[in-house]
Copies of this chain bind each other. A is one copy, B any other.
Amino acid sequence: MLAQGSGLTVGAVRESFPGEQRVAIVPAAVKTFAKSGLQTVVEAGAGQAAGYTDEQYAAQDASVEQDRAAVFAAADVLLQIRGGGGNPEFLDADLELLRPGQVLIGAYDPLSDPESIVRLAERGVSCFALEFLPRITRAQSMDILSSMATIAGYKAGLLAAAALPRMFPMMMTAAGTITPARVLIIGAGVAGLQAIATTRRLGAVVSGYDLRPAVREEVESLGAQFVELPLESGEAAESGGYAREKDEEFYRKQQELMHRVVAESDVVISTAVVPGAKAPVLITPEMVEAMAAGSVIVDLAAERGGNCALTTPGETITHGGVTIIGETNLPSMIPYHASQMFANNVASFLQALLNEEGQLEINLEDEVIRETLVCRDGQVTHPRMRERLGLAPLESK
């Protein structure tokens, strides 16, 4: 157990991205931080949209500041749901409030907007973009992509059920038999598996499709049918947990199969994303037109352009009677629990930054630290970021 009062302060401001309802620190996390000797400061109203009141933070001995700038001034470590490339509002309004040596932890969407990391670097901060967490067991408790994907998959199932003009479950009633909804989930990562679980819970007949045959067992264990691409796809292996690119012939056959299963589905929830890159287009306009009127597509890749060619990010449209939901921020729609999970993730990461004396120490021997650090001491440090920015590699120490 660490000594009380390391003198370090952790802070969170009200998120400024339009529509964002989450907050990076919840009242329960204040208690966790205190056990590590950390003080907490939050901007007044920071948790309001997520259902956490200023009084609840204060009851855990957090300092609640009316003045947003005062939080930046007091925080040695700033926790953020969206910073950097993920939030232009933050860069425009708050960048000047950052100071050299200040530590930033959160989601920074660094690959989508590498220049935003240059701007952070110029402020002299040490920024940790949790999107870059290595997919190792120790980092699971810090994994914001997984926790937010859990929320998004659940919410996608609900959105689909809410938009469909049919019931999900089969019912045998005095007024006849209701046939269950047929749901197709594309991509069996965390979000896809949660979407399978949720739509199964609601009684739908669910199929799951994924390039990786290895996930068949997980899909089937949730009560869904695994849609198999009849190809010698033994090479459809993984690279860092994500599906690799495939050749043209493969994509043609994939499209044929997809056309057939999409046309037979009442609901399609697509979750195929490649971090930092545009999402692959898997659902063509022709496939949408082959669906029955009233069918629903929920495109979880909307923020990255969408898995469906017709998806309009941030909007719900209809095409030939098919509803296409392009919500770009599903975790924010369940802000209470999304904030709780996010706060647990960043709190877990923060532990890795504290040494035995409870002081901040950026230990580059630790891969969790090394791989997420995007800038420090005025320089962009992350090799992938430097490459994107056309900068020479830093000399290794």
Q: Tell me the A residues contacting B by CB distance below 8 Å.
A: 21, 50-51, 53, 140-141, 143, 146-147, 150-151, 154, 158-159, 161-162, 164-167, 169, 171, 173-176, 178, 198, 201-203, 292-294, 321, 334-337, 340-342, 344-345
Cross-chain contact A341 with B176 (CB below 8 angstroms): yes
Asked if residues B293 and A169 are in contact (CB atoms below 8 Å), the reply is no
How far is B33's CA from A359's CA once the two chains are assembled, in angstroms?
80
Chain B residues with Cβ under 8 A from A141's Cβ?
A: 174-175
19 contacts between A and B (CB under 8 A): A50-B165, A140-B174, A141-B175, A143-B174, A150-B171, A150-B175, A151-B167, A158-B161, A159-B162, A162-B162, A167-B334, A167-B337, A173-B341, A176-B340, A176-B341, A176-B344, A178-B341, A201-B202, A201-B203
The complex places the Cα of A201 from the Cα of B162 at a distance, in Å, of 15
* A159 contact set on B, CB distance < 8 A: 162
In the assembled complex, the Cα of A158 lies from the Cα of B174 at a distance in Å of 23
* A165→B334 contact, CB < 8 A: yes
Q: How many copies does the complex hold?
A: 2
Inter-chain CA distance A146–B340, complex, in Å, is: 40
A175 to B341, Cβ gap below 8 A? yes
Docked complex Cα distance between A305 and B381 (Å): 63
Nearest neighbor of A336 in chain B, beta-carbon distance: B165
**In the complex, A154→B204 CA distance in Å?**
13
Closest to A335 in B: B165
| Cross-interface CB contact of A165 among B51, B143, B321, cutoff 8 Å | B51
Name the one of B143, B166, B198, B202 contacting A337, with C-beta atoms under 8 angstroms. Answer: B166
Q: Is the CB of B166 within 8 A of A336?
A: yes
CB of B166 within 8 A of CB of A147, answer no
Given the known interface contacts A162-B162, A167-B334, A294-B51, the answer about A175 and B147 at a Cβ–Cβ threshold of 8 Å is yes
Inter-chain CA distance A198–B340, complex, in Å, is 25
Residues of chain B within 8 A (CB-CB) of A334 are: 164-167
Residues of B within 8 A of A335 (CB): 165
A292/B51 contact (C-beta < 8 A), A162-B159, A341-B176 known: yes
Beta-carbon nearest neighbor of A167 in chain B: B337
Q: Given A146-B173, A150-B175, A176-B341, output 7 extra A-B contacts at Cβ < 8 Å.
A: A51-B293, A146-B174, A154-B167, A158-B158, A166-B336, A175-B342, A201-B201
Known: A176-B341, A202-B202. A336 touches B294 (CB 8 A): yes
What are the 10 closest A-B residue pairs judged by CB atoms, nearest first? Answer: A175-B341, A147-B175, A51-B294, A140-B174, A165-B336, A176-B344, A175-B344, A166-B336, A141-B174, A167-B337
Given the contacts A169-B201, A201-B169, A203-B201, A175 and B143 also touching, CB distance less than 8 Å: yes
Docked CA distance A340–B173 (Å): 12
CA distance A335 to B166 in the complex (A): 7
Alpha-carbon gap, A162 to B330, bound state (A): 11
A151: chain B residues at CB < 8 Å are 167
Report chain B residues within 8 Å CB of A169. 154, 201
A166's closest neighbor in chain B, by CB? Answer: B336
Q: With A51-B294, A162-B162 in contact, do A174 and B202 touch (Cβ < 8 Å)? A: no
